[in-house]
Structure formats: structure tokens, C-alpha cells
Amino acid sequence: MATTTRVPTVDDLRLKLCYICREEELYDAPENPRRQWTHPCKCTLVAHEQCLLKWIQTAQATEGRAQNAMKCPQCGAAYELESKNPFILRLINVGNNILQSSGGMFTLFGTATVIGVVGTSIYVVCTGYGAWAMQKFIGKEMFNFLLGDDPSQWPWSAFINLPLLPFSLIVTRFQSTSSLPPIIPILLALPSTFSPAFNQKINDHWRLDKGVRKLTSYRPSSSPASTSSPRSWPPSPMIFGLFGIPLVQMVYQRLYSKVYFKVMGTLPPERVALLRNRDANGGAAGRNNVARMDIANGPFNLRVRANLRDDPHPAAHGEPDLLVGQDIPAPEEERVLQVNASTVGRKVAGALLTPAIASWMGTLLLRFSRHSVLLREFLAIRRPIGRVWYPPPVDVMNKDMHTLSAFKQMTVGFQMIARGLWGSSRTFLESDPVWWRNTVGLGLFIVVKDAVQLFHLWLTKRELESRKVKNRDFTGVDFRELDLIPSFLLGTRR
């Protein structure tokens, strides 16, 4: 007889042990309400359906366990699920995932775009400012010659130098005694860059007929100075910037400290910091720290110490004990007066306005120069030339550059650059040196500004020192509350 052996299922077990919650259930005594059991794999592990489903759901959500979730931990057989998972659900899930990932990508690209737009606009603003500053500083004529109003004609180096101008100006303002080269040489070194339009202008000019050339370019000069040798005054921008300005700065700083000392009785705070560093570091290294100290001291309050003591100030070595920057509190004998000579905004605005101030002072000086020959000579003012005097290409007359061999071109190019570096281009020298009088004007302005500042400080100090408190008598106060001397009460005091 063929015995049909049924294969038992989970419901045929007498004692079931859920491997997840370790609860047991006897066949004879089922739980109330009944719980569904499942035997999902090939070994003997059984579990409550709910326990298993919960385990699968949790495991699939966890990053590392997701791949083990649908396998039996003991025999490795895969679990199979059934659910109402119609096509529409799967479709919507897929769509949802796509939207999620595209949303993530959008966030990424959106942020990048925003940063790019902001950066570009900042760059454009800085470049525009740089162009404006250049024009103000070296004069409209030279500016048109070098750069022109059409940005597409600018050399590539302009697009690097110009946006950096505002930052250089601001940085220079905050490092008044720094050893770094200030901005002005950078402004003045630009003439040595040649643009294609510039070259084109040169070539066009030299192709003209000799006669026409004589008409178009004229040099008004009071003295028959030779055209072949470059003028020696004003000095070349490069040399002046590299050597002249630091020299002037140093001399001016010393003078200013002396005057400040005479007026205020103390040294200016930047000087104190410098000397303190020098003492601390034993000399040479002090200068390196000055820039750092000034950045800390510069933008913040300028404290004037109104010294009430009569004894004269000791030499610089004693200064650090009495005078400090802004960090250490005052000793009792000294009163500290805070005069807000500068805030960050003020310094930055001042730095950015420097080219305008320089240009304005330059025009002022120009106007004054009409009345004084000496001033005119000092400023080396020449009539602005309608057509600019183009420098003949070095050693090449009446020949076009492109007809030369490559090597010759290179040597000519190097010669021009070298001359530009050491002597500046002839055009620059021959034209009206707007930059020179602008620089001089700026210097004068700074001197006047410092003088006014010092004057303000001195007046403030005087005001403080001359303060007196007004006295009152005791009208309105009950006499009995006061501890009066007996002679007053008797009326015999006078």
C-alpha cells in the first residue's frame, strides 16, 4: 500500500519556539488571541510571523544588515515575502527614488551655482573698482592708453591685477608700518604690460608717413630737452614705488612720532608696539612682528593716555611699562581716554576712496601750479598731448614687428620689458605724469589728515585736563542732617 506521507508544516508542531522572542507555544494550549507562526526556511527555526516581519523590516532599514535581512541566519535559505505590492506601488517607489536623487543633485548644483554667482559678482565689482582706481590714479589719458574703456581689449594680466586692487588698498591701510611693499608700486608697474591694442597703436603710428607723423605728434616743451634720453624727473614709477615710498614712509613715521610726542607727551600706540616688540625681540626681529601687531591695534580704538604725572617721560625703554596697546588695563595714576579715531568701516572706506582723493588732490595741485613755476617743475607738468607720443620700437625703425624673425622679436620684446621695468615706457615718461602729482597730493593729504587728527587728540587731552567740577552750596538740604562746624552755627565763621 502506498502510504501518502504528508509533509508537516509549522502548524503541526507540538511545541513551537520563536527564535526571535523565545516564546514557546504548545499545540494543545494555544495563545489567545492566536498568533500566526511561520517556518520560512529550510532548517528547523520557526518564528511568529509578526516577529519575523518586524525583524525583516528593521534589518532592511539598517545599512549593514540589509543584505542579511532576507536570509535565514542559520541555514541561509532565502525568505520569500508576499504582499500587496501592485505594479503601481513599485512604479511610484521608483519614481520617488528618482525624485530623491535628483533633489540631492539639485541641492549640490544649486549651492555651487549660488556660490559661483556671488563670486562672479564680487569679482566683477572688484574689477570695476580696480579700473576706476587705476583711472583715477594715473589719469584718464594714460588709462585710455593702457587699458581703455573696452574690457575686451585689456590684457589678461589686467583681469588679475584689477580685482586685487581693492584688497591691496585695504590691506595696506591696516598695515601702516608694515615692511610689505605698499600698493602704489603695483599700480605703477602696470605700464610694462603690453596689450595687443597697444602694439597695434604703435605699429599704426609708425606706418604713417614721416610728414604726417610730425603733425600728429607734437611735444610742447619749454626746454629743448632731447627726445632720445628719457627724462629723469619724475622718477620711474617702479623705482619710486620700490624705494621711494618705503623711504618716505619711514622718515614720515619718525617725524610723526616726534611731533606726537611733543604734543601729547606720549608716543603713538603703533610706535609703542613697535618699540615693545623691538625690546622684546632684541632688535631686528621686531619689524616682523609689527605687521601682526598693527592688524590687532590698527582698526580699533586709539587710546590717548592723559598722563597726570609731572615727571618727564622716560626714554623708550620705559614706555612699555607705562603705555600699552588696548589690552592691559590702566594703572591708577593714569586716566584712559578713548578716542575713536578709526573703526573698521572707516578704514576700509578710506582705503577704497584713496584713488579718488589722490586724483582730487592732483587736480588741486595742478590748479595751484599755474601760479608757481617751482611747483610746476617739481610736478613735471606737461601739457596733455592730444595724440600720445609713441615710443619708437627699440632698434627698429620703419619696420614692422612681424617681419622680424622670431628670435629678433623675442629680443626686442625682452628689451622693451627690461626698459619698462628699469625706466618705464617712454610714453609714460613723455606724457603728463598724472600719477606723480596724484602721489604727491595723496602724501600731502595724509600729512594734513594726521595733523588734524593730532590736533583733535591734543584738544581732547586739554579738555580732559582742564576739567573742573562745579561746586554748589547746600541749599535745599536740611541743616540738621549736616555735620557742620560749630562756628558756622554760631555765625562766626566769616
Partner 1 sequence: MRHVEPSVPLKAPFTALTLPPPRFQLSRDSAANSEMTSISSRRLAKELKEIHSEGCPVGITLVKADDFATWWFTIEVMGESLYQNERYTLQFRFDSQYPISSPAVQFVVGEGMEAPIHPHVYSNGHICASILGNEWSPVLSVIAVCVTLQSMLASCKEKKPPTDNDRYVRTAPDNPKKTRFHYDDDTV
- State the residues that interact with partner 1 by CB under 8 A: 19-23, 33, 35, 45, 48, 50-51, 54-61, 64-65, 68, 73-74, 81, 83, 85, 90, 92-93, 96, 99-100, 103
The grid coordinates of residue 246 equal 618705503
Least Å distance, CB 64 to partner 1, is 4
Least Å distance between CB 67 and partner 1?
A: 8
Q: How far is the CB of 60 from partner 1 (least distance, A)?
A: 7
What is the spatial distance between Cα 260 and Cα 389, in angstroms, rounded to a whole number?
A: 47
Closer by beta carbon to partner 1, 91 or else 118: 91
CA atoms within 13 A on the CB side of 275: 21
d(CA 457, CA 396): 61
b/e map 155-194, b = 16+ CB within 10 Å: beebeebbbebbebbbbbbbbbbbeeebbbbbbbbbbbbb
Closer CB to partner 1, 23 or 204, in the complex? 23
Name the minimum Å distance from CB 111 to partner 1: 19
CB of 113 to partner 1, least distance (A): 22
Torsion of CA 369, 370, 376, 381, to 10 degrees: 100
73 or 196, CB closer to partner 1? 73
Nearest residue (CB) to partner 1, 104 versus 119: 104
Write down the least CB distance from residue 8 to partner 1, Å: 21
For the CB of residue 27, give the shortest distance to partner 1 in the complex, in Å.
19
Question: Based on CB atoms, which residue is closest to partner 1, 98 or 180?
Answer: 98
Q: How far is the CB of 69 from partner 1 (least distance, A)?
A: 9
Give the residue with the Cβ less far from partner 1, 101 or 232: 101
Characterize 415-446 residue by residue with b for buried, 16 or more Cβ atoms within 10 angstroms of its Cβ, and e for exposed. Answer: ebeebbeebbbbbbbbbbbbbbbbbbbbbebe
In the complex with partner 1, which residue's Cβ is closer, 65 or 140?
65
Amino acid identity, residue 189?
A
Nearer to partner 1, 33 or 329 (CB): 33
First to last CA, the chain: 150
User: Helices 245-264 and 269-281 sit at what angle, rounded to 10 degrees?
Assistant: 110
Whether omega before 320 lies within 30 degrees of 0, making that bond cis, reads no
Least distance from C-beta 76 to partner 1, angstroms? Answer: 11
CA 300 to centroid of chain Cα atoms: 17
Identity of the residue, 52 or 264, whose beta carbon is nearer to partner 1 in the bound complex: 52
